[in-house]
Amino acid sequence: MEDNKTSKESIKILNRRSFIIIFISVFFSLFVILRLFSLQIINSNFYKKKSIENKVSVKAIPPLRGDIFDNNNNLIAGSTSSYEFVIFKNLNKKFIDELNSLNSILSLDLDLPKIINEINKKNPYVPYKISKAGWDQIVKFEKNKFLFTAIKIQESKKRYYPHKNMSQILGYTGSSSLSSELYPKGVFHIEKTFENILKGKPGKIFNEVNSQGRIVREISIQEPIKGNNLHLTINLKMQDFAQSLLPLTNKGSIVVLNCQDGSILSMNSNPTFNSQAFEDRDNSVIERLLSDNSKPLINRAFSGFYPPGSVFKPIPALLGLQKNVINENTEVICKGHSTLKDRNYYCWKKGGHGRVNLKKAIKESCDVYFYELAKKTNIDELSQLATSLGLNQKYDIGLSNPQQGLVPNKKWKKAYLDQGWYLGETLITCIGQGFNLTSPLQLATLYSALINGGKYPKPRIHNDENVSYLGDAFDKKYHDLILESLNATVLEPSGTAFKLNNLHPNFVKIGGKTGTSQVIRIKEEDREDDLYKSKEVEDRFKDHSVFVGYAPFDKPKYVASVIIENGGSGSAVAAPIAHKALNFAYNLNV
Amino acid sequence: MFKEVKSLMDINWIFFFLLLVIFWIGEINLYSAANGNFEPWAYNQLKRFLFFLPIFFFILMLQPRFIFNVTEIILITTVIGLIITLFFGYTGMGAKRWIRIGGFNLQISEFAKIALVLFMAKYFHKLNAEKTIGLLRSILPLIISLIVFILVAIQPDLGTAVIILTLGLIAIFYAGINLIYPILSLIVLGISSPFLWTLLKPYQQNRVMIFLNPDLDPLGKGYHIIQSKIAIGSGGMRGNGFLGGSQSSLDFLPEKETDFVFAIFSEQFGFTGSMVILGLFLFLFLIPIFKSFFLTQVFNKLILFVLSFKIFFEFLINISMTIGLVPVVGVALPFMSYGGSSLLSNMIICALLINIMSISEKKRMFS
C-alpha cells in the first residue's frame, strides 16, 4: 500500500459526500421513527386489541337445561351425563390408525370411510364425535390407552326422560346439523315451546392459544347458568294410568282436564314413542318412527282432528234455546228419519224415538230432533256459538303445531270450496258430522265451557301460566237444562251411556255424551247401535268411538275426552275408558 | 502482516463495547424468542460468537497494508465462491444460497459485500483522483458491482443482491463520481421501473404487492407483516416487559428468530426500547465515520464509511421490513438475527472498522 498525497479537494469531496449519505440515512431513520411512533404510540391500542384477539380463544360451555316436573314435583325431564369417544385430528397425524384400532379393539363396527371423510371436512381443532361410549367400552379403552393420543373420552350432558308416557307432551331436543349451535335445543312440543325458559345461559372458557390453536393456558371461566325449571299441570300418575286405558289395538287418545282451572292433567295418544330415542340418537328407531304409517309422533289428543259426532249436539241445542226456536218442552216426533227436499236424513235408531223433547234428544242422542232443529238454525250463528264455546280455536298450550279444526260456516265454504251453503249440510253439521273437525282437547274444552256456563278457563299445561277465561256466559236456565240432559245420558235408564252404571257401579257418578264419528257414510241408522260392532265391517271403515264426560256429575271438576279410532260406537268403547279415567282423577283429587 | 500486540491498546474501546452491548441485547432477545430458553438460538449464537472471536482478533491485528495487498485475491475468491454456490449450493427456501465448508453452511454473498467494498477502496485509492470522477473511471467498479449483484440475484436472493449493488453505488458515490451520473441514473430508473417489474419473479412481485397491501393475503404471504405489526404495535410505549410478548411466545410470529427478531424485541420493550436500539446502531454508524474525517487516505476513509454504512443500512432495511415500510426481502438485523454467516461477516466488518480506526496517520503507520 502506498501512501497517497490525497488532494485537499478530494478529501473535501469525500467528506461532503459522507454528509450527504448521513443526511439521507438520518432522514430515512426519521421515517422509521415516525412509523414506530405511529404503530406503538398512536395505534397501540388497536394492535393491543389485535394481539389479544390473536391469542384468546373463547369456548362455550353448554349450560344445563332446566328440568321439567309434573304437578306433583316428579321429575319428567332432566339432564344426565353421557360419554362419547371423540377424536382430535390435530393431535396425531396418524389418526386413521387410531380409528382403526379403536374400531377393532372395541368391536364398534364403525363406518370408517364415512367417518374419515367427515373428519377431514371438519375443523381439526374441534373434536369429532365418533360414537357413544358404554361402560364396558370405556374400560377396554382405558386398558389400551397407550394406543390413543388423538382419541379421547368426552363427557357431555344429555337429556333424560324417565317416563316414556310423557313423550307426547314433552317432545324432544336435538341439534340441527347445519346450524353453528354448540348444544342441542328443543325441537318439538314443550321442549321447543319453552326453549327460552329451559335453555339457560352458556358459560365461556377463555383460553390462551398459540398460532396453531393449541391451548396454552386457561385465562378465565364464566360458569354456565342452568336453565329454569318448568312445572307442568300434567299429573304423572294420571298420564300413566290414562295411557294404560288406551287399547293397543286401535289408535286413539284421551285428554283429562280440570274444568275449574283449565289445567290439563293428562293427554295421551296411541301409538306413542319414546323421547329418549331422539336424545340417544338411536337412528334406526328414529327412522322407524318417522316412516311409521300410524304416525306415532302425532299427539292425537292435540293434533288429531275428527268429526265430533253426537257430542256436538249440545251446541245446536243451546243455540235453539237462545234463539227461542225451541224450549224445554218443544217436542218432535221421531219416526227414524227426517225429510228435507225429497231426501231422508236418518236417525241412528231405526224405529225412531217417538215423542222427543230436548232432554230426551240429548240423553238418547236422537238425530231427528236435531235435524228438525237444524232446519231452523242459521249455520253462521251455530259456528259462532261453537267458537265461543271452545271449538274452532287454536290452543297454544305449548305443544307444536296447534291447529284450529273447523266448525263450518257459509263464508268458510265459499272461500275453500267455492260453493253456497245447503240446508242439508246444516242438518248433518248439527249432529256433529259433515265438515266438522274437532280435536279431543277441543271437545274437552267444549264440555268445560258447557259445565262452566259459557265462560271457561283456558286450557293450559304450563303450571305457572295464570288462569285466564274465554267465552261468554249464557243463561243459567239453559245451563241447568243442558247439564241435566247430559247427566241423564249416563244416569237414566234409557241414556246412551247408562250401562256405565252397571259396568262400574262403585265408580264416581259422571255425566257426559257419547258420539260416533263417521269415517264413511254407511247406514246411518246403524250408528250408536251396539250391534254395529259385531257386523262385518272392515276395521278401517269402522266409525271412531267418541265420549266426553265429566265427574262428579253434580259438581263437575274433571272432564275427560276420549276418541278411539275405528272403535265403533261411543257408548261401547270410549265411554268406559272415560269413566275409568274420570274415576281415577276423582280419587286422585288433583 | 500483523500489527504489534501493544497496538491492541489503541483500539476504539467505545466502538468495541457498543458492539458487545448490541450483541448481548441480541442474545437476550433470542433467549426471549425461545420463551425464556437458551436453547436453541441464544446458546448457538453465543457459541458462534465465541468461535468467531479469534477470527475477529485475527483481522483486528492485520496490517492495513496486508489487507490492501490481498483485496483482489479476496474479491476473486468470493466471486468463485458465488459461482460454486450456484452450482453446488445447498438449497433452502427456494434458493441456492449456502455452501458447506467444514461443517458450516456459509452464505458467501454475505462476504461478497466486504470483498466488494475492499476492492472499491483499493481501486479509488489507487486512482488518487484530484477532483470528481468521470464515468469512464467508474466503469470497472460498476461492472464488478453488477457481476456480484447478478451472481447473488440469480441464486435468487434479491435482498442481499440489492444491498450489494447499493454498497457498490454508495462507494462510487462516496469516492466522488460526478453528481450528474447518479442523478441521471435515478431518472432512468424511475422511467424504466415498470419494465423492471416484469423482470421480477412472481414470488418477488407477490412480496411487493403484499407489502403494498398485506391484507391481500392475511394468512399467507401477508401474514408475516400483519403479525409483525401486531407484535410491534402491541408493545406500546414501554412494551409488554421482558418475556411478556404474547405474539412471539405463542408462535404467531414466523421467522421470529431471524428476519423478524426486531418485532420480538419491540413487543417486549416498546417504543422506548426501539429508540434505544436505533440510538445504539446510530452510534455504531457514526463513530467510524467521525473517525474517517480525520483520515486522508482514500482506502481507509472508504472502508470506514461504506462498511459502517452497510451495518446501519441493513439495520434500517430490516426494521423497515418488520414495520411494513419496505417489502420483506430477507435482510438480517446485524448482530441480533440468528444466523452464522451474517454474524461472522458483521464481526469481520467491525474488526476491519476497529483496525482502520486505530490508524494514526500522524504516527505515519502507513510508511
Q: What's the rounded mean pLDDT across residues A531-538?
A: 51
Per-residue pLDDT, A132: 79
Q: How confident is the model at residue B216 (pLDDT cuts 50, 70, 90)?
A: low
Q: What's the rounded mean pLDDT across residues B281-294?
A: 93
**B52: pLDDT strictly greater than 50:** yes
Q: How confident is the model at residue A543 (pLDDT cuts 50, 70, 90)?
A: confident
The sign of the dihedral angle between the CA atoms of B203, B205, B206, B210 is positive
In single-letter form, the type of residue at position A318 comes to L
Question: Measured between CA atoms, how close is B325 to chain A, in angstroms?
Answer: 8
* C-alpha to C-alpha distances, A348 to A314, A336, A482, nearest whole angstrom: 17, 7, 21
Record: contact B233-A33, CB cut-off 8 A? no
Same domain membership, residue B225 and residue B191: no
Facing A39 at nearest CB: one of B131, B233, B298: B233
* Other CB atoms within 10 A of residue B92 CB: 11
Which residue segment(s) compose the domain that B124 sits in? 68-199
**Number of domains chain B contains:** 2
**A363: pLDDT strictly greater than 80:** yes
Per-residue pLDDT, B203: 77
User: Which of the 8 DSSP states describes residue B9?
Assistant: G
In the sheet where B90-92 sits, what is the strand order? B90-92, B95-101, B104-106
Strand ranges for B126-215 from DSSP E:
none
Residues B9-20 have pLDDT tens digits of 888 899 999 999
**B337: pLDDT strictly greater than 90:** yes
Q: What's the rounded mean pLDDT across residues B141-169?
A: 92
**A320: pLDDT strictly greater than 90:** yes
Facing A28 at nearest CB: one of B251, B316, B324: B316
At the topology level of CATH, where does A59-231 sit? Penicillin-binding protein 2a (Domain 2) (3.90.1310)
Per-residue pLDDT, A126: 67
Record: contact B323-A48, CB cut-off 8 A? no
Interatomic CA distance for residues B40 and A548, integer angstroms = 86
Per-residue pLDDT, B93: 63
Per-residue pLDDT, B364: 45
Which chain A residues touch B128 with a CB distance below 8 Å?
4, 6, 10
Q: How confident is the model at residue A93 (pLDDT cuts 50, 70, 90)?
A: confident
Q: How confident is the model at residue A534 (pLDDT cuts 50, 70, 90)?
A: very low
Highest mean pLDDT: which range of A5-9, A141-145, A439-443: A439-443
- Any idea which of A78-82, A333-337, A452-456, B189-193 has the lowest mean pLDDT? A78-82
Q: How confident is the model at residue B193 (pLDDT cuts 50, 70, 90)?
A: confident
DSSP state letters, A372-425: HHHTT--HHHHHHHHHHTT-S----SSSSS----B---HHHHHHHH-----HHH
Burial B220-232 (b: 16+ CB within 10 A, else e): ebbbbbbbbbbbb
Degrees to nearest 5, angle at CA B215 with B213 and B217:
105
ipTM confidence: 0.90
Residues A230-242 have pLDDT tens digits of 999 999 999 999 9
- Higher-confidence residue of B25 and A589: namely B25
- Between the two ends of chain B, the Cα-to-Cα distance in Å is 14
Record: contact B174-A18, CB cut-off 8 A? yes
Q: Which residue is it, cell 285466564?
A: A468
Which chain B residues touch A216 with a CB distance below 8 Å?
250
Residues A115-130 have pLDDT tens digits of 888 877 776 666 778 8
Q: How confident is the model at residue B112 (pLDDT cuts 50, 70, 90)?
A: very high
Q: What's the rounded mean pLDDT across residues A39-67?
A: 82
**B26: pLDDT strictly greater than 50:** yes
CATH architecture group of domain A236-588: 3-Layer(aba) Sandwich (3.40)
Domain end point (choices B145, B174, B199): B199
Indicate which of B138, B250, B274, B291 best probes the interface with A, i.e. most A CBs within 10 Å of its own CB.
Answer: B250
Same domain membership, residue B76 and residue B16: no
Per-residue pLDDT, B220: 60
Mean pLDDT for chain A? 86
Same domain membership, residue B298 and residue B180: no
Same domain membership, residue B335 and residue B237: yes
Record: contact B305-A51, CB cut-off 8 A? no
Which residues 174-203 in chain B show a CB within 8 A of chain A?
174-176
Per-residue pLDDT, A211: 64
Q: How confident is the model at residue A524 (pLDDT cuts 50, 70, 90)?
A: very low
Same domain membership, residue B260 and residue B335: yes
Give me the phi and psi of A457, to 5 degrees please. Answer: -70, 140
Same domain membership, residue B120 and residue B110: yes
Domain ranges in chain A with CATH number 3.90.1310.10: 59-231
Asked if residue B297 lies in contact with residue B305, where contact means CB atoms within 8 angstroms, the answer is no
Question: Measured between CA atoms, how close is A39 to chain B, in angstroms?
Answer: 5
- Residues 6 or more apart from B87 whose CB is under 8 A from it? none
Which residues 236-265 in chain B show a CB within 8 A of chain A?
236-237, 246-247, 250-252
Q: How confident is the model at residue B167 (pLDDT cuts 50, 70, 90)?
A: very high
Q: How confident is the model at residue B154 (pLDDT cuts 50, 70, 90)?
A: confident
Q: What's the rounded mean pLDDT across residues B248-270?
A: 82
Domain ranges in chain A with CATH number 3.40.710.10: 236-588
Name the region of A78 (left: φ>0; alpha: ψ -120 to 50; beta: rest): beta
**A214: pLDDT strictly greater than 70:** no
Per-residue pLDDT, B362: 58
Q: How confident is the model at residue A341 (pLDDT cuts 50, 70, 90)?
A: confident
Which chain B residues touch A212 with a CB distance below 8 Å?
251
**B67: pLDDT strictly greater than 60:** yes
Residues A465-502 have pLDDT tens digits of 889 999 999 999 999 999 999 999 999 998 899 988 88
**A528: pLDDT strictly greater than 80:** no
Per-residue pLDDT, A411: 92
Q: How confident is the model at residue A538 (pLDDT cuts 50, 70, 90)?
A: low
How deeply is A384 buried, as exposed, middle or buried, from its count of CB atoms within 10 A (0-12, 13-18, 19+)?
Answer: middle
Per-residue pLDDT, A212: 63
**B282: pLDDT strictly greater than 90:** yes
Same domain membership, residue B220 and residue B268: yes
Q: What's the rounded mean pLDDT across residues A305-326?
A: 92
Asked if residue A91 lies in contact with residue A149, where contact means CB atoms within 8 angstroms, the answer is yes
**A1: pLDDT strictly greater than 70:** no
Question: Measured between CA atoms, how close is B102 to chain A, in angstroms?
Answer: 33
Q: Which residue is it, cell 500522524?
A: B362
Is residue A209 within 8 angstroms of chain B, CB to CB?
Answer: yes
* C-alpha to C-alpha distances, A124 to A182, A212, A223, A303, B339, nearest whole angstrom: 16, 10, 26, 44, 34
Same domain membership, residue B244 and residue B182: no
Which chain A residues touch B231 with a CB distance below 8 Å?
51
